[in-house]
Amino acid sequence: MASPGKKAFALRLDPALFQALERAAAADFRSVNAEVEVLLREALARRGVKLEVAEPPRRGRPPKETNDDTYDG
């Protein structure tokens, strides 16, 4: 399932290329998907294609909701 704001699509790759991507991703502590995205951004930057800065994904638990009617004891 894609994250909100992300476009999902199928990508067919040569098995040897995918294995190389897996090794590169593991070396960078990334998923293969994240590694492909980084490599694509780098390639586009070398060609002079400017992209908007992506907002980093929100990690962790959502903040607790505050309840003004909470009893303090």
Could you list the beta-strand ranges (E) of the chain. Answer: none
Report the pLDDT value the prediction gives residue 3, as an integer from 0 to 100. Answer: 62
Model confidence pTM above 0.85: no
Q: CB-side exposure of 41: number of CA atoms within 13 Å?
A: 10
- Specify whether the CB–CB gap between 32 and 25 falls below 8 A: yes
Give yes or no for residue 1 having a pLDDT over 60.
no
> Which pLDDT tens digit goes with each residue over 8-65?
999 999 999 999 999 999 999 999 999 999 999 999 999 999 888 777 777 788 888 8
